[in-house]
Structure 1
Amino acid sequence: MNFRQPVAFLIHPRVNVAADLAQLFHPALARIPNSVYAQALRRLPIPPLVTGHIRYTDAPDTLAAHLITVPLTAAQLLHLPRPKVQAKLEDAVSRARDLGARVVGLGGLNAPATRGGATLTHRTDIGVTNGNAFTAAMTLQGVHQALQYTPDPDRAHIALVGATGSVGACLTRLLARRHRGRLTLIARNPERLHALRDDIAASGADAHASTTMIDARGADLVVLLTSATEALLRSEHLKPHAVVLDDTQPRNTDAALLHTRPDVTIIDGGLVEIPGMRMRGSIGLPRGVAYACLAETLLLGLSGHAGHFSIGASSVDQAEHMLQLARAHADLGFHIAAPHSFSRPLTVTPHARQPVLA
């Protein structure tokens, strides 16, 4: 029986608005300064824009998803007055509903701008998901991949930056059940941080807490899970030959770091291969590759899900459920992508290739 129903996914211009618009519409748009775009988006009544569509190879005549661009920059989503941001997002959700979507996913900073979708739960006309459950599940698999680039995957020291966030807390609990090495949890809120540390330490995990990035320096693998709009990770935060898994959008690493620290390996996180997906438009990834938050939205559409799903912090049970849905639709893909670094296939040779996370 076919339960498929259309969905929508909200995206937004990232840090380099000119580059994003040039990729979507015309290369000449890259010549206009980002400050001009930011001012226009802040002042003009620009509606949400449908900038892409997704279909599946097994049903090429059926529209599976709409990509809708919220007309705010990454920084504006986090720093403009809340009522203005909420109104823009409400308009985008309404556009998704009018297009026939049954569920709308929150990409990039649309999720933290709505407290993980919590400010949209009053909507009964369409389901909302922040994509964090499948993101946590895929990041766990991404951690397994990244550990293969460390000298001792079984005992590697992992630092989780943004450990108490909606993805971070779920991933931390998943890792605590599987990894035997040290876990350093890094976050800004000491109360939530220590509560999470105590929770997983009680189950036997070797867990430590810190509120400063410098404590990532002892880690073999640094996993970035924050919702900041700028690159936070610097050279002094990394030990020699450290591996970084950047699971953020906009990303918290800068390619310039690889020039100052060629010993460091940076891997893009949250990427899912969906060979059966055909996208018109661009999200800045290779063909057949999607962010995990988009993949969660697509899986909910494929399964005929009704109502809200991932709101706020995702649970381990939700992550496990999304893995079940991915297995059910494995004919289309929905598995962890091969390692990429800044959207290009990673060419560094792993130290080890044996599975270390069950």
Structure 2
Amino acid sequence: MTKFGFLLHPRTQIASDMGQLFGAPFGWVPDQAYNWALSKMPVPPLVTGRIRFDHSEPTPEGLLVTVPLSAPLLLGMNRRDVQHRVEDAVDKARDLGAGLVGLGGLTAPVTVGGKAFLHRTDIGITNGNAFTAAMTYLAIERLLPHLPIYPVIALVGATGSVGACVTQMVAERHLGQLLLVARNEERLELLRAPLQSKHVRISTDMLDVRQADLIILMTSAADALLHSEHLKEGAIVLDDTQPRNTSPALVQTRPDVQVVDGGLVEIPSMRLKGTIGLKRGLAYACLAETMLLALDGHRGHFSLGHPRVDQAEYMLHLADRHAHLGFHLAPFHGFGEPVEVKSPLRPVLQST
């Protein structure tokens, strides 16, 4: 077994996260003040939580290490400076005995899926995207009964680290239409070319998502990306992003639309001191990947850059091996609360 670290960062609403971590008074400071201070001051990475497993067998300990940069700063500051700040957190975990570090939130995309640490031989790195892709695929399978027989599934962020792997898994097994959405048309063409399915289209226009019955969000934006005008009546959204790309206001403006939180894994045995913004016994798939690798005694790097389908399938194998601790797809939640996904009402042809 390997002691592990997992990197976090404050999300878009940094005051809310700081209040959860350090007490209510820290939640009263305006977000703008936090962003200014963290961009100017050399705040070191902080250990903000610890993880253990409630089981009779020996299990590894985990450390939550917070990178002191908010989501907008991680995406907006000089990339090299950001990578140095993330690497400081990796060093912190290593110095405290971790042999493996998982990249949470935006710490993965800003380090090119962890490839910025490929040279490191003193510690293993994984971006968590292999198990995230696997859990996303299982969530799609669970949602299929609530969709038309031949649904249109839009994969937003299809060329990204998680998106490319999910696209390949779905294209191999799915009979409906796939709409791959991303900013770069050339990368979309490269992703589509080897797929055997004839039912794959590409687009760089978010408005085309309005054709989809199910939308999978897998992007690296710092705020809400999906809006009411992007959604057809009765659409289901699986938001697989952290920070999330949907706003709770969407449910108010479009009560016909259902939003489901993606990438959630149920681990009843997990005992967390600190917070990751989830209810007890739940973890993000990227964190769960780090846990599973540590439980299995993995050494060295695992998922860097774009994960392969075989890596996603290997993570499902590890989840099955450690199923006595949990590690299965969590019941559906929406904006952190349990939800029951209902099949949208479809028009019924009346016989005459």
Q: TM-score under structure 1 normalisation?
A: 0.94
Name the structure 2 match of 1:101: 98
Relative to structure 1, is the Cα distance of residues 167 and 101 closer, same or farther in structure 2, using a 3 angstrom cutoff? same
Name the structure 1 match of 2:173: 178
Name the structure 1 match of 2:283: 290
The answer on whether the counterparts of 1:146 and 1:267 sit within 8 Å (CA) in structure 2 is no
Q: Could you report, residue by residue, the CA deviation over 1:115-165 in whole angstroms, capped at 9, with x for unpaired residues?
A: 000111111110000000000000001112233332x2x411100000010
Q: Offset of 1:350 from its aligned partner?
A: 4.4
Match status 1:11 vs 2:4: no
Name the structure 1 match of 2:162: 167
Paired with 1:60 and 1:28, the residues of 2 have a C-alpha distance of 40
Deviant stretches of 4+, over 4 Å:
59-63
Name the structure 2 match of 1:356: none
Pairwise mapping of residues 149-160 of structure 1 onto structure 2 (< 5 A)?
Answer: 149-150=146-147, 152=148, 154-160=149-155
The answer on whether the counterparts of 1:6 and 1:103 sit within 8 Å (CA) in structure 2 is yes
Pairwise mapping of residues 77-156 of structure 1 onto structure 2 (< 5 A)?
Answer: 77-150=74-147, 152=148, 154-156=149-151
The answer on whether the counterparts of 1:180 and 1:205 sit within 8 Å (CA) in structure 2 is no
Paired with 2:97 and 2:56, the residues of 1 have a C-alpha distance of 18
The answer on whether the counterparts of 1:176 and 1:205 sit within 8 Å (CA) in structure 2 is no
The answer to which of 22-31 and 58-67 deviates more is 58-67
Pairwise mapping of residues 15-30 of structure 1 onto structure 2 (< 5 A)?
Answer: 15-30=12-27
Paired with 2:59 and 2:297, the residues of 1 have a C-alpha distance of 15
The answer on whether the counterparts of 1:156 and 1:181 sit within 8 Å (CA) in structure 2 is yes
Q: TM-score under structure 2 normalisation?
A: 0.95
Relative to structure 1, is the Cα distance of residues 18 and 106 closer, same or farther in structure 2, using a 3 angstrom cutoff? same
**SS at 1:287's partner residue?**
coil
Paired with 2:199 and 2:327, the residues of 1 have a C-alpha distance of 32
Structure 1: unaligned runs, 5 residues or longer: 353-358
The AA in structure 1 aligned to 2:40 is R
Paired with 1:80 and 1:319, the residues of 2 have a C-alpha distance of 32
Paired with 1:28 and 1:242, the residues of 2 have a C-alpha distance of 40
The answer on whether the counterparts of 1:55 and 1:61 sit within 8 Å (CA) in structure 2 is no
Paired with 1:54 and 1:347, the residues of 2 have a C-alpha distance of 29
**SS at 2:216's partner residue?**
strand
Pairwise mapping of residues 205-354 of structure 1 onto structure 2 (< 5 A)?
Answer: 205-350=198-343
Name the structure 1 match of 2:33: 36
Of 31, 45, 70, 1:73 maps to 70
The AA in structure 2 aligned to 1:182 is Q
The AA in structure 2 aligned to 1:69 is T
The AA in structure 1 aligned to 2:37 is A
Q: Offset of 1:63 from its aligned partner?
A: 5.3
Q: Offset of 1:90 from its aligned partner?
A: 1.4
The AA in structure 2 aligned to 1:112 is P
**SS at 1:100's partner residue?**
coil
Paired with 2:248 and 2:204, the residues of 1 have a C-alpha distance of 25
Q: Offset of 1:205 from its aligned partner?
A: 4.1
Q: Could you report, residue by residue, the CA deviation over 1:74-99 in whole angstroms, capped at 9, with x for unpaired residues?
A: 11111111221122111101001011
Paired with 1:346 and 1:159, the residues of 2 have a C-alpha distance of 22
The AA in structure 2 aligned to 1:192 is R
Structure 2: unaligned runs, 5 residues or longer: 346-352
Paired with 2:116 and 2:103, the residues of 1 have a C-alpha distance of 12
The answer on whether the counterparts of 1:148 and 1:351 sit within 8 Å (CA) in structure 2 is no
Task: Give aligned pairs, total.
Answer: 345
Paired with 1:70 and 1:60, the residues of 2 have a C-alpha distance of 32
Calculate percent identity across the aligned residue pairs. 56
Q: Offset of 1:199 from its aligned partner?
A: 1.8
Q: Could you report, residue by residue, the CA deviation over 1:194-239 in whole angstroms, capped at 9, with x for unpaired residues?
A: 1212221xx1341000001011101100000000111010111100
Q: Offset of 1:246 from its aligned partner?
A: 0.2
Paired with 1:149 and 1:280, the residues of 2 have a C-alpha distance of 37
RMSD: 1.4
Paired with 1:95 and 1:204, the residues of 2 have a C-alpha distance of 46
Q: Could you report, residue by residue, the CA deviation over 1:17-53 in whole angstroms, capped at 9, with x for unpaired residues?
A: 0000111110121111001111111111111000001
